[in-house]
Amino acid sequence: MLLSDHASSVELRPLSYQFPVVQGDSYDDNWLVISGTVATPEGSWSFTDPCLLTQEARQVSAWLRAVASGALEVTGPDAEGRLSPDTWFIEPVLAMSLAARTDRGAVIRVHLSLEAAPPWLQGDDGADIYQYFVELRVDAAALLHEADQWDSALNSFPTR
């Protein structure tokens, strides 16, 4: 899945199960290793981390489709100026939120924390979970296409 605009991009790919051998644990058997490549005007980096469960990974495409259809509300900062994502997961590495609607699509935020954070923020104590994000202006057709691409990539990783 590649989400991009004229200034930035975020590419996410499921690579493998964290543990190749099924062990009979509903969590350990279903952790997916996700590869990410990020490019922004501030810099570029990549990460690889077991940060999504198979069930959570399927929520990503559902969220993209909901944004494309106009079903989600824009999320702004709270009274203290902090952002809370619309969709988040057990591991607070990736999250997403809707920043704005446009006449052709949306401005989405891909929140990147901990192992997915840019190198210049690595090592922070976690106090700023979800506060670093990449904003991307994406039209509805691209959101739907990337949701399909993500689902296709997940076909190799059924819930075990």
Query: Is 69 inside a domain boundary?
Result: yes
Mean pLDDT over 71-77 rounds to 94
Q: Which tens digits make up the pLDDT trace of 10-69?
A: 999 999 999 999 999 999 999 999 999 999 999 999 999 999 999 999 999 999 999 999
Spatial CA neighbour of 113 closest among 143, 134, 135, 136? 134
Mean pLDDT score, 87-108: 95
Residue 106 resides in a domain: yes
What's residue 124's pLDDT?
A: 61
Write the CATH number for 13.
Answer: 2.30.31
Whether the model clears a pTM of 0.85, i.e. scores above it, the answer is yes
Q: Let me know: does 96 contact 110? Beta carbons within 8 Å.
A: yes
How many domains does the chain divide into? 1
Containing domain of residue 86, as a range?
Answer: 2-154
Q: What is the mean pLDDT of the chain?
A: 95
Would you tell me how many other CB atoms lie within 10 Å of the CB of residue 10? 23
